[in-house]
Structure 1
Amino acid sequence: MKNDQLQEHHFTETDLQAEWNLLLMQLKTTDPVVHSAIKSFKLLKVDEKKIEIQYPSSSAKSEFDKVSPEFFNHFRHKVNNHSIVFDFKHEPQNLRQEVLTTKKIFEKFTEINPLLKDLDDLMKFDLT
């Protein structure tokens, strides 16, 4: 089949996110290394034929390359749209997930309410 004869049924952002989350859930048990590498990816529907995949690093993208053909094929069949193009975009700063420790959470609250700092000085909270 030529590209102009491929099926192009409508799909929503919700369809995309649901299938992405399903893949992540499956990888969590079957391949934790790949899951850990790609869980911070963002998939965005640009239009009916284009999906943008934002990734934080080339090493994470190389892990995704191991499962991407299967995911792309599954998604195209699921939404019955075989003309979808997946576009990769490197977004290093926006995708890093900050690990929130108890201490960091407390510091954010002290920015909102400075009296918490006085309370911490008085009570000597152990936030480690």
Structure 2
Amino acid sequence: MEGLNYESKKLVSEGKASELIDFSVNANGKISAGTYYNDFLPGGENDFIKYRDGIDSKSDILNSIDIPVLIIFGDEDECVLTQNIDIIKKYLHNNIKKCNIQIISGANHSYTDKYEELEENIKNNI
């Protein structure tokens, strides 16, 4: 991701925030430089997930959630899983009081070919 950090900063500073860059681990996804810059760089506009600061760090936004939250990841998610999944799970459990995290084996960010498993997972956990 370090190359993406540099590339997105460069494009945004050049006024090219809408230019698309390769994003996914498999290089089959695109994201605008501006979206990457704001969502994934520490201190970006949407940097409310502070797991980059360690699993014991706290997020005021996530700590304010007081309703049950179901989070479903695919273990092959090329967008969200920029950190080790165990780090993300611990961080989320430390920050969301009623957090239920489920993992779908073999699922990517779009749950391609895993829609039935996703549906069952949702039905079984609500």
* Range class of TM-score, shorter chain: under 0.3
Instruction: Give the TM-score normalised by the residue count of structure 1.
Output: 0.27
Rg larger in structure: 1
Normalised by the length of structure 2, the TM-score is 0.27
Q: Whose helix fraction is larger, Structure 1's or Structure 2's?
A: 1
Q: Whose RCO is larger (CA < 8 A, sep 6+)?
A: 1
